Every structure is written in structure tokens, then in C-alpha cells.
Structure 1
Amino acid sequence: MYMIRKKKTLIGRVEKLRFPTLGESVLHARIDTGAKTSSIWATYINETDDGLAVRFASLDYAINAHEAVFEHYDRVRVASSMGHQQLRYRVKLPVVIRRRRIMATFTLSDRSMQVYPVLIGRSTLNGKFVVDVSRGSPLLAEEESRSAELQKNIHEEHV
């Protein structure tokens, strides 16, 4: 018996992606092999009789006030790299990365303090993608600006 394995797609530390069910906007995502789960920026989350109502909107990013209702969702506890735990909603969404369409699980979170509105973690990458950190399309100016802003805030807190 032979197993047919689909070839793994090579991606970089930052990739452009699309969420077909959230419009055709292209977003930048941070690829993080240190993170277990994937996350997407949601600005409004409300449980209704129809399901979980979510608004994906931002002035800075390409998802423009798109709303979706998820019949199937749950809540999970997510730990940050700093050890902080948070209870988040989790949904499944189709996503296209490097012309490869997959179904992936995302936690919904406030990523307004992050450079990238989407984070792709190991659970999405496993078996489908190989990461080469020298590749990708990073938003270098935004990363440098955000890093400088965070350093300034840290300095002000300790003065």
C-alpha cells in the first residue's frame, strides 16, 4: 500500500494570504513556529441565537468591516510566550497561503498592538508548510516603527 503525500509548500516568516469567506482582501501574516495556535484580529465578538457574530475590521488592514456568523465555535485557553493565559473564541476558516487553500483553526483576538493582523502557528503549518525565515514579504518599516514604539513605552514605564 502506497501513501500519497502532498508536497509541502515553502513559505517565509511573513506571508500574504487571503480569507475567501471574508472577501478577497490580501493580508500579511506573521508565520510563527513557536506559537501553537493561529490567531486573527477580530474587533467585535458576540454570541447570538444564530451563532458567534464576529466583525473583522480595521482602519489599518484590508479587512473592511466584514462580518461573519459562525455556527460552530468553541472557547479555548491560550497561553502567551510570557505565560499569560487568555480565554478566546476559536473558529475554522478557509485560508489561502501561496495559492494553497486549506481549512485552519483560528483564535479570535485583539491584535491591534501587533504589526500583523494574522498569526499562523504550528497547528496550521504542520504537514503542509516548511518555513524558511529568509523568505517572505515582511513589512520592514512597520516592524521597525512598532519595535521603536514598544521600546519607548518600556523605557517610559521604567523611568
Structure 2
Amino acid sequence: MKEKLLVGWKETLDLPELGIYGIEAKVDTGAASSVLHCNSYKVVKEDGQDWIICELIINFETEETKTLKLKLYKTKLVKSSFGQEEKRFYIRTTATLYDQVFGIKISFRNRSQMTYPMLLGKNFLYKRFLVDVSKENLSVKALAK
């Protein structure tokens, strides 16, 4: 059995396929899926394939944005923490933590009113990570040693 990596209540990671580096994500074991802040998005169909065109912040210090067209993985009705159902659009991409690359499914939502631009949900954490809620940025600290 592969040993699980330890993460804190928040972690800094990269989403290299999206051009996003050093993004702070809140680890949320109560959320099923991972969510990334998106200023705006729309879903289009081309040649029988669904795509999501989204405006993402790729540098959170300068607030530089980039518009990307990404292949839609799935659409799902999700109940928010407030009990409201909403349609979420998911993509598949990669996330880098501990200098390792992991597959991740991400939905998009405007999180501008939230403290962290990203949530890492339990579907990403499952069988890979253990969470120590008394720590933060364990993956970054491990690489600095």
C-alpha cells in the first residue's frame, strides 16, 4: 500500500496545464469535489463535444487573467453548503503537490467573495492524503528542506 502524504488545512499547489502556479487552496474534507475560482464561463458545443470557455486568474498577486477553452469532462447538479442546487461543469487536469503530479477533476465557480480561490475536496484527497488541520502548506515546507 502506498504511503499517504500529509497535507494541512490549506496548501499551495500548481495547476500547470492551466498555467496557474502557487495557488492557495483550502483543504475541505466536507466538500466532495474540488472547485476553482473563475471570473466567468460559458459552455459551448463544437463538433459534438462540449467545451467550457472560462476566464481564470493565473496570477493572484497581479490578478492577471487568461481565457481558456477546456474540454468539458462532465456536468453535475451539486448541492452547495447553503442547500441550493446548482449545475457544475467539470474538467480533468493535473495538480502538482510535493513535486508530484496528480490527476484532478475541477469545477468552476465565482469564489471572489471567498478567502481562498480554490477548494480541494475529498474526491481529490481520497487514498492519497491525510489531513492535519493544525498545519498548513506542508507540501511546500517539505520541498524547502
TM-score normalised over the length of structure 1: 0.75
SS of 1:25's equivalent in the other structure is: strand
Q: Would you say the 8 A contact 1:40–1:108 is kept in 2? A: yes
Q: Which runs of 4+ in 1 moved over 6 A?
A: none
Q: Answer 1 or 2: which has greater helix percent.
A: 1
Aligned-residue CA RMSD in angstroms?
2.0
Q: Aligned partners of 2:125 and 2:104: how far apart in 1?
A: 9
How do residues 7-18 of structure 1 correspond to structure 2 at under 5 angstroms? 7-18=3-14
- Residue in 1 aligned with 2:128? 128
Q: Aligned partners of 1:113 and 1:59: how far apart in 2?
A: 17
Q: Aligned partners of 1:24 and 1:110: how far apart in 2?
A: 16
Indicate how the Cα distance of structure 1 residues 132 and 62 shifts in structure 2: closer, same or farther if over 3 A, else same.
Answer: farther
- Residue in 2 aligned with 1:40? 36
- Residue in 2 aligned with 1:80? 80
The alpha carbon displacement at 1:84 in A equals 1.5
How do residues 54-65 of structure 1 correspond to structure 2 at under 5 angstroms? 54-57=54-57, 60=60, 64-65=64-65
The alpha carbon displacement at 1:61 in A equals 5.1
Larger radius of gyration: 1
- Residue in 2 aligned with 1:119? 119
Q: Which fold has the larger relative contact order, with Cα–Cα distance below 8 Å and residues 6 or more apart in sequence?
A: 2
Q: Aligned partners of 1:60 and 1:26: how far apart in 2?
A: 9
- Residue in 1 aligned with 2:140? none
Structure 1 counterpart of 2:9, one-letter code: R
Q: Answer 1 or 2: which has greater strand percent.
A: 2
The alpha carbon displacement at 1:25 in A equals 2.1
Q: Aligned partners of 1:82 and 1:24: how far apart in 2?
A: 29
Q: Would you say the 8 A contact 1:16–1:98 is kept in 2? A: no
Q: Would you say the 8 A contact 2:10–2:24 is kept in 1? A: yes
Which of 15, 18, 25 is matched with 2:21 structurally?
A: 25
Q: Would you say the 8 A contact 2:9–2:26 is kept in 1? A: yes
Q: Aligned partners of 2:65 and 2:115: how far apart in 1?
A: 19
Task: Structure 2 unaligned segments of length 5 or more: list them.
Answer: 138-145
**Which moved further from structure 2: 69-78 or 37-46?**
69-78
- Residue in 2 aligned with 1:144? none
Task: Structure 1 unaligned segments of length 5 or more: list them.
Answer: 138-159
TM-score normalised over the length of structure 2: 0.82
Q: Aligned partners of 1:6 and 1:59: how far apart in 2?
A: 33
